[in-house]
Structure 1
Amino acid sequence: MNYKAFYAEVADWILQVNQLAVSHGMESHKFWSWVSRSIGEMANKYENNQLVTRQLTMLFIWLDDIYADMQKKK
């Protein structure tokens, strides 16, 4: 597995997440649909390698935590 390529893709993905959060909001269906779809696509691209799936799970949890914190502040 090309770890350098994977982590470069993760960095690009995080930038895209930030752009979508700004343009559509983390409360939008479009945002979470894209997050779920893109995570699945990336996992499949790297043949569901254990490191990849754990990294992607961590990123999803990170986003979910941010969303939960936003909801608490309302």
Structure 2
Amino acid sequence: MDYKAFYADVANWIYQSNHMAIKYGLDNYDYWQWVATSTGELCDKYQNNPLVKMQVTLLFQWLENVYEERKENELNESRAK
């Protein structure tokens, strides 16, 4: 596997993810559909290599954490009012 190419694809995916999050918002179904589709395509590109699958899982978990933290902050802000 070409690790340099893979990690360049990961960096590009993160950039695209940020762009899509701005375009759709984290609360939007289309954003999460894009995440699922694009991470699947990344895995397919590298023949479901175990490292690729673990990296994609890490990226997905990272996004989930960002989403959950955002929701928690919004809830705390609304309670403070």
Give the TM bin, normalised by the shorter chain: over 0.9
**RMSD, aligned α-carbons:** 0.5
Matched, 1:45 2:45: yes
**Aligned match of 2:77:** none
Structure 1 unaligned regions, length at least 5:
none
**Distance between the aligned counterparts of 2:46 and 2:58, measured in 1?**
16
Structure 2 unaligned regions, length at least 5:
75-81
Which structure has more RCO (C-alpha within 8 Å, separation ≥ 6)? 1
Deviations 1:23-73 (A, max 9, x none): 110110110000000000110110110100000000000000000001101
Number of equivalenced pairs: 74
Q: Is the radius of gyration larger for structure 1 or structure 2?
A: 2
Matches within 5 A, 1:7-46: 7-46=7-46
Between the two proteins, what is the percent identity of the paired residues? 46
